Amino acid sequence: MRLVAYDLRICGSDMHGYLSGGVGGRPVVEPLVMGHESAGEVIAVGEYVKTHKIGDRVAGAFFHYF
């Protein structure tokens, strides 16, 4: 599945990491690009994708702390 992201935002864990220097017991190591919650649209699907179609609006979270 291929997506186009329309928006990417920071969330509470990003702010906590920025203000306290860590998230979930893991230190923030720079450089770090904050923001992992996104919204977008499906622009292509593979032959095995049965749950989404082109034009579907989707949201996701991408975690880069681990």
Residue 53 per-residue DSSP state = -
Is 27 among the domain residues? yes
Is 32 among the domain residues? yes
E strand or H helix that includes residue 20? helix 12-20
Q: Domain range for residue 45?
A: 2-61
The torsion region of residue 21 among left (phi > 0), alpha (psi -120 to 50) and beta comes to left
Q: Is the pTM of this model over 0.75?
A: no
Q: Tell me the mean pLDDT in the region 54-65.
A: 79
pLDDT at 66 over 50: no
Residue 47 per-residue DSSP state = T
Q: What's the pLDDT at 65?
A: 47
> Could you report the per-residue pLDDT of 10-52, keeping only the tens digit for each?
888 888 888 888 888 888 888 877 777 889 999 999 999 999 9
Is 31 among the domain residues? yes
Is 66 among the domain residues? no
In which band, very low, low, confident or very high, does the pLDDT at 62 lie, cut at 50, 70 and 90?
A: low
